[in-house]
Structure 1
Amino acid sequence: MNDLSIRVENLGKRYRIGAHQKRYYTLRERLVNFIASPFDYLRTTLTPPSDEEVLWALKEISFEVKPGEVLGIIGRNGSGKSTLLKILSRITLPTSGRADIYGQIGSLLEVGTGFHHELTGRENVYMNGIVLGMSKQEVDRKFDEIVAFAEMDKFIDTPVKRYSSGMQVRLAFAVAAHLEPDILIVDEVLAVGDVAFQQKCLGKLEEITQQDGRTVLFVSHNLGTMLELCSRAILLDKGQLIISGTSNEVVETYLSQYANQSQAFVTKKYHEGALITQVALLNHHHQAVQVIDYDVSFSIQFEFEITEPIRALSQWVRLENQFGVHVLFAWLAYQQPYQRGTYRALCEIPAQLLTPSRYHVDIGLTNHRIQPYNEAHKCLSFDIISKDRAFDPNDRGWGAVYPKLSWHVDIT
């Protein structure tokens, strides 16, 4: 038995950007063009694209995964996670390097991936089994278990094109997990399902790794799930491998890697005399970050410049979540005079208050909340993340705030 499930060496994937689609030429046309002008033909066909025309989605990625290992892949949107998974799943080819796969792969990358939408759920189960090299008798033995896990017994003979996205995810995961591929690749697609089914899937992933010894590659923005499920992880950023190590080490690097990255913003000026110049999100160690753990406090710090004396001025901060809901408004209740100079304000927000989400910050300088001087809308964006794997950031049912409160339950 091979001591590796996956070996990736100097893997790279290049895409041409802004290039027009080339016309398709038949073999006869290509021969005519070559005979008519051989040098022009060779120049146009063999000249590589310039640096301005290419985007390296992945560049010089190398790592190894052992059998039975659960590897987490972390990174912001656009970091190259999906491209890597598509190469490992043999959906797309790399531009450079190599990826050696030792065993059969089952992939759950996008809703509907691996399904023929004109076929029924039953027919798709058998089709996927055949693709994995299983006999009809082997799929027969697994079929009832697949349908029961997906909770799809009433719809298994319905064409997949009539399934909702959640139903497709249910059946796709059940097929991928129960048809026993050697390597299972799971992207963020599980976020489509409901919370109860997500927990069911995660429990199944733990079962197939601990009991069956199969290899899993797992992508999720839920760091709590990543820490609990994955023994190792890698961090990607702009197509490059930043760190490979234990999941704890990689998550800590992920939480701190965006420190001191300033975000540009434009202010709206109502009256002369005051101008917001700088905004930052600080963690509990007063370090500039863009990602905050739900369990720690943080602060919003901003600097403003007073260009002429103001008799009374106050500051305010407002937070908007990813659903466009204003969830917090805080302002300095007392007014005070300001002379010319640069000032710094700090608004402290306690831990375990706001629901983990993506947030946008508005800041303002005003006189008695009636006469505004300067405002900066969406001048800063940041994420609050939860390490609780039961939490679903896409579910509005968790509310705008998620405070840890004191509870008392007594028998009456």
Structure 2
Amino acid sequence: MSVITVENISKQYIIDHQKGKGSNTLRDVLAENWRQFFGGKKDGNTPTREEFWALRDVSFSIEQGDRVGIVGHNGAGKSTLLKILSKIIEPTSGSVRIRGRVASLLEVGTGFHPELTGRENIFLNGSLLGMSRGEIREQFDAIVAFAGVEKFLDTPVKRYSSGMYVRLGFAISAHLNPEILIVDEVLAVGDAEFQKKSLGKMRDNAANGRTILFVSHNLTAVQALCNKTLYFEKGQLIEQGETNQVIASYLSKVSKTRLLRQWDTPEEAPGNDLVRVKRIELIPDYQDDLTHIDVRTPMKFRFEFWNMMDRANLNLSMHLNSMTGECIFNVGTRSQPYGKGLIAGECTIPGFFLNDGSYTISIMIVKDTVTPLYVMEEGITFDVEDYREGIAWYGKWPGYVRPQFPFEMGMLEPASLE
């Protein structure tokens, strides 16, 4: 049974652009209206209006018990969609049909009265969800324990940190038994332990037949929780379906990857009179028939260049860098004598070595181990996506590398319990 049916919804905003500097005072507005009324020349500061469509012709349906992820870049329309489904805003056109009570956690502090205490806001939010006072009391202790705000229960929430806001807001939304739970990116504010608890609670809700809509840039969390996913781009629904398939498609479309660059002749190739680049390539050994690189993916780096010198001792130096410019590692070949011709170098980067993130590869052709002949900056650009199995923590894994070194633990000596 469909609990959410969205048919051809669009949402338009009108953006006013003020030309020139300065603000619109009451005097400015009156003067401009006077000029327009009497046909005078318009001021250079006259605002121009622009139509912006946050959503365009979006249609989909969600079945009871579905756990639906919503992915896309910032500005793709995800939050606008959730606000429409939460009845915070109305669509410009189209229709939305919802069966069941909806609880939403969209922004830090949404639905809280800052002057009321945590205790009072629990009852306020429950009442807004249509719960009776008795139903709220039944869940009260579980809400407080889940949120971990016992010490601050009678403190006005305006004194809460953003993390406390989120913990209490999620606990209220998840424990007051809504048929549909809508959660935006706000869970990113919580710590790792809270993320784990929240995802587990949403799974429990879904197992009991409740429907979850979950927006997150953390694709690992989306894959762990959601059985279906919607992919939005520039206000349009690009793809919908099974989560792993949609996320793989999303990653392949948004990747900044540039894995191959090549030139057919030395005349058109980058370099100088001594050496010129023919080909630079990163060859991933994709896992599980995927089309994107993740932390498991072994990669082979290959570099080819023309040597125009009769005889020279040459070696290659390869730098793998983060997008912010830090060198993750530098590895070089042996220096050997070469004559004129095409020379190639190859390096293998094993799987389970790089952490998720964006990287570049630069290459340097070196003479006599000390003299750089040519440096190619950012010759290759690629992204490494996250992948986790058997790990319930969904925060960002620290560091640039993520090796799987042997690391064991065991008890040296049992302690006496007496």
Range class of TM-score, shorter chain: 0.7 to 0.9
CA distance in 2, matches of 1:246, 1:197: 26
Change beyond 3 A, Cα 1:377–1:72? same
Matched, 1:59 2:56: yes
**Mapping for residues 326-337 of structure 1, pairs under 5 Å:** 326-334=327-335, 337=338
Match of 1:115 among 112, 115, 133: 112
| Contact map agreement 1:276 1:374 (CA 8 A) in 2 | no
Query: Structure 1 residues 328-337 or 77-86, which shifts more?
Result: 328-337
1:236-255, aligned counterparts within 5 Å?
236-255=232-251
Paired letter, 1:84:
L
User: Is 1:127–2:124 an aligned residue pair?
Assistant: yes
Corresponding residue of 1:361:
360
SS in 2 for 1:374: strand
Counterpart of 1:314 in structure 2 is 316
- How far is 1:105 from its partner? 1.9
2:264 alignment counterpart: none
Q: Any idea what SS the aligned residue of 2:293 has? A: strand
State whether residues 313 and 337 of structure 1, in contact with CA within 8 Å, keep that contact through their aligned partners in structure 2. no
Superposed CA deviations along residues 132-189 of structure 1, whole A, max 9, x for unmatched, are: 1223333222222110111110012223232222222211110110122221111232
Aligned to 2:149: 152
CA separation in 2, counterparts of 1:196 and 1:182? 25
Say if 1:226 and 1:123 are closer, same or farther in 2 by CA, change over 3 A: same
Residues 246-280 of structure 1, C-alpha deviations (whole Å, 9 max, x = no match): 223223323433469659x9xxx998755779876
Query: Any idea what SS the aligned residue of 2:2 has?
Result: coil
Instruction: Output one character per residue of 1:283-304: Cα deviation in whole Å (capped at 9) or x when no partner.
Output: 3159xx9952222223456676
Deviation at 1:231, TM superposition (A): 1.9
Once the two structures are TM-superposed, the CA of residue 126 in structure 1 deviates from its matched residue by: 2.0
In structure 2, what is the Cα distance between the partners aligned to 1:16 and 1:308?
64
Deviations 1:220-244 (A, max 9, x none): 3444433332222222233322222
Q: Which moved more, 1:131-140 or 1:16-25?
A: 16-25
TM-score normalised to structure 1 length: 0.77
Aligned counterparts, 1:333-352, within 5 A: 333-334=334-335, 337=338, 339=340, 347-352=347-352
The amino acid across from 1:246 in the alignment is E
C-alpha separation in 2, matches of 1:101 and 1:133: 16
Read off the aligned partner of 2:101 and give its amino acid letter: Q
When normalised by structure 2's length, the TM-score is 0.76
Residue type of the partner of 1:12?
S
Partner of 2:396: 394
What SS class does the counterpart of residue 82 from structure 2 fall into?
A: helix
Letter aligned with residue 331 of structure 1: G
> Could you tell me which residue of structure 1 aligns to residue 8 of structure 2?
10
Q: Which residue of 1 aligns with 2:267?
A: none
CA distance in 1, matches of 2:189, 2:229: 23
For the pair 1:166 / 2:163, whether they are aligned, the reply is yes
2:352 partner SS: coil
Paired residues for 1:232-311 under 5 Å: 232-258=228-254, 262=258, 282-285=283-286, 291-299=292-300, 311=312
CA contact (8 A) 2:2 2:63 kept: yes
| SS of structure 1 residue aligned to 2:83 | helix
Going from structure 1 to structure 2, the CA distance change for 1:321 and 1:144 (only over 3 Å counts) comes to farther
Aligned partners of 2:5 and 2:60 also within 8 Å = yes
* Cα distance in structure 1, aligned partners of 2:273 and 2:292: 34
2:415 paired residue number: none
Distance 2:286 2:155 in 1: 56
Partner residue in 2 for 1:194: 191
Unaligned runs of 5+ in 2: 40-47, 262-269, 413-418
> 1:277–1:303: 8 Å Cα contact kept in structure 2?
yes
Deviation at 1:310, TM superposition (A): 8.7
Q: 1:179 corresponds to which letter in structure 2?
A: L
Aligned residues: 389
* 1:107 partner amino acid: S
**SS in structure 2 at match of 1:113:** coil
1:390 maps to a residue whose letter is: A
Aligned partners of 2:293 and 2:112: how far apart in 1?
38
Taking the aligned partners of 1:187 and 1:167, their CA distance within structure 2 comes to: 16
TM superposition shift of 1:106: 1.5
